[in-house]
């Protein structure tokens, strides 16, 4: 892949003026060959591999960051779904928690920001190891700093595992109660159609179809896109789509250049570049601001879904033109707490939970980083999750949920997480939703479009 001098200079301008960065370089590590019936042996092998590879990742990420002058904000690791590693071990919560603490200690020693993969694929059913992992989540994630978890609860091919959905509502309540401000809940996401090569937390894991090691890149450029939209106030929407496509093309090229060089230095496979626009709490680095720059007065008002659909389509087309290795989620994140414009919209009343769910029908990754009152019952949490996952299942796309029950907070309050996680206004939800529906459990069958063989 040849990068012109003009592209390099343009990337430098984007970095200096519009918060462009490589949001994450995420190293995927296969741990299946570390499996052992002895917990201590498994833990020792995991620790050794993560520390060795994590230090290499940091070394070469530093080198490439300095070479090109493009910030690499996070260095992360994704591992084999931990539930698989638990299969030959005693099915005890303490064992799963020990593995989580091993991951945490290794990530700390290697100076890795987050390590993902404490999760399970349970879209159709749960093994004994899967159930133990889910039961261990409150202790594991409240007792570690850098470990992130995921659960794939649904897929278009399998439908929705409502047994697991119902179980997870109670798990989430327990986790929220164990962690200050419910911050433990920011480290777990549940999905329909989870990708195996996602570089973004909390859902990152190293899928079973991946090689021993792979290097995946997550780029970020809401500020860059907002700037070009603002510079084109009079063009029609067809022309605006072309402007966004060309901008995302440039961002993707820069991301792939960084990713391929780090992978080559590490002598591992380059995986994918995830072209998702990922907001931060920095001024001007907001997806909501892009929508409003298009002409929607406030995100959440009529026109928001159409504008977001246009943005999503242009992002995907621009990325696909730039690279043959686009993967992961590759959409537009609309988290509440991590996007200043989304926070403003919730506080102003233009965006509620129902409209947020509608927006997720046209973008990934779903209902992300939003807070609800701490007294929301487990069945209501499960119902919110089931609604969102059904959008993914029926539309054959990835959707996810990362919801924080804010203990001690009521609707209209705010909960502060700090750093990249930001602050979340507590959104209003029904005091009781659909307990009779959730408690039926079972499995919502896959839709007819799954029968494509």
Domain boundaries, the chain: 1-445
Q: What does the pLDDT average to over 434-443?
A: 92
- Judged against a pLDDT cut of 80, whether residue 281 lies above it is answered with no
Between 283 and 347, where is the model more confident? 347
Between 250 and 156, where is the model more confident? 156
The share of the chain scoring above pLDDT 90, in percent, equals: 74
229: tokens are: 């939209």
Q: What does the pLDDT average to over 300-324?
A: 93
- Judged against a pLDDT cut of 90, whether residue 30 lies above it is answered with yes
- Judged against a pLDDT cut of 50, whether residue 5 lies above it is answered with no
Average pLDDT, the chain: 91
- Judged against a pLDDT cut of 90, whether residue 223 lies above it is answered with no
Between 449 and 355, where is the model more confident? 355
Specify the range with the lowest mean pLDDT, choosing from 19-28, 100-109, 152-161: 19-28
Backbone angles phi, psi at 366, to 5 degrees: 125, -155
Asked: is 1-445 a CATH 3.20.70.20 domain? The reply is yes
At 16, the pLDDT band (50, 70, 90 cuts) reads very low
- Judged against a pLDDT cut of 50, whether residue 396 lies above it is answered with yes
Q: State residue 128's pLDDT score.
A: 96
Q: State residue 14's pLDDT score.
A: 55
Q: State residue 363's pLDDT score.
A: 85
Q: Are the beta carbons of 23 and 219 closer than 8 angstroms? A: yes
Q: State residue 186's pLDDT score.
A: 94
Give dist(CA 160, CA 443) in Å, integer: 6
- Judged against a pLDDT cut of 90, whether residue 68 lies above it is answered with no
Specify the range with the lowest mean pLDDT, choosing from 30-34, 261-265, 394-398, 427-431: 427-431
Q: Please calculate the CA angle 41-43-49 and round it to the nearest 5 degrees.
A: 100
Please name the residues in contact with 240: beta carbons below 8 A apart, sequence gap of 6 or more: 229, 232, 294, 310, 314
- Judged against a pLDDT cut of 80, whether residue 98 lies above it is answered with yes
- Judged against a pLDDT cut of 60, whether residue 434 lies above it is answered with yes
**Would the pTM of this model clear 0.85, i.e. be above it?**
yes
């Amino acid at each position: 892949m040849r990068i012109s001098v003009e592209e390099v200079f343009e990337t430098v301008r984007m970095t200096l003026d519009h918060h462009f960065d490589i949001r994450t370089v995420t190293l995927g590590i296969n741990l299946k060959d570390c499996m052992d019936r002895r917990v201590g042996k498994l833990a020792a092998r995991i620790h050794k591999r993560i520390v060795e590879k994590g230090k290499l990742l940091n070394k070469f990420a530093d080198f490439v960051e300095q070479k090109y002058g493009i910030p690499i904000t996070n260095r992360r690791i994704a591992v084999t779904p931990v539930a698989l590693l638990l299969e030959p071990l005693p099915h005890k919560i303490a064992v799963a928690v020990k593995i989580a603490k091993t991951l945490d200690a290794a990530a700390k020693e290697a100076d890795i920001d987050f390590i993902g993969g404490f999760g399970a694929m349970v879209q159709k059913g749960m093994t004994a190891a899967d159930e133990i992992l889910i039961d261990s989540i409150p202790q594991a994630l409240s007792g570690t700093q850098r470990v992130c978890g995921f659960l794939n609860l649904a897929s278009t091919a399998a439908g929705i595992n409502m047994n697991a959905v119902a179980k997870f509502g109670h798990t989430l309540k327990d986790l929220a109660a164990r962690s200050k401000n419910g911050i433990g809940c920011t480290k777990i996401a549940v999905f329909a159609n989870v990708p195996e090569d996602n570089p973004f937390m909390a859902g990152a894991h190293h899928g079973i179809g991946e090689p021993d090691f792979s290097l995946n890149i997550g780029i970020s450029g809401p500020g860059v896109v907002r700037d070009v939209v603002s510079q084109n106030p009079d063009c029609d929407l067809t022309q605006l789509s072309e402007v966004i496509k060309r901008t995302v093309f440039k961002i993707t090229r820069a991301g792939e250049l960084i990713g391929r060089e780090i992978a080559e230095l590490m002598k591992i496979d380059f995986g994918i570049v995830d072209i998702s626009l990922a907001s931060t709490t920095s001024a001007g680095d907001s997806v909501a601001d892009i929508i409003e720059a298009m002409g929607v007065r406030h995100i959440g008002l009529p026109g928001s879904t159409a504008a977001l659909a246009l943005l999503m389509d242009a992002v995907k087309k621009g990325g696909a033109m730039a690279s043959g290795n686009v993967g992961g989620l590759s959409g537009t994140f609309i988290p509440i707490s991590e996007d200043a414009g989304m926070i403003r919209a919730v506080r102003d009343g233009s965006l509620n939970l129902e409209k947020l769910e509608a927006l997720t029908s046209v973008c990934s990754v779903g209902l992300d980083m939003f807070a609800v009152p701490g007294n929301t019952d487990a069945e209501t949490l499960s119902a919110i999750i089931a609604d969102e996952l059904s959008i993914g299942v029926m539309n054959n796309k990835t959707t996810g949920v990362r919801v924080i029950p804010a203990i001690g907070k009521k609707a209209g309050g705010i909960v502060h997480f700090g750093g990249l996680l930001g602050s979340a206004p507590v959104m209003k939800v029904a005091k009781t939703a659909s307990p009779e529906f959730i408690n039926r459990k079972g499995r919502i069958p896959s839709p007819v479009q799954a029968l494509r063989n």
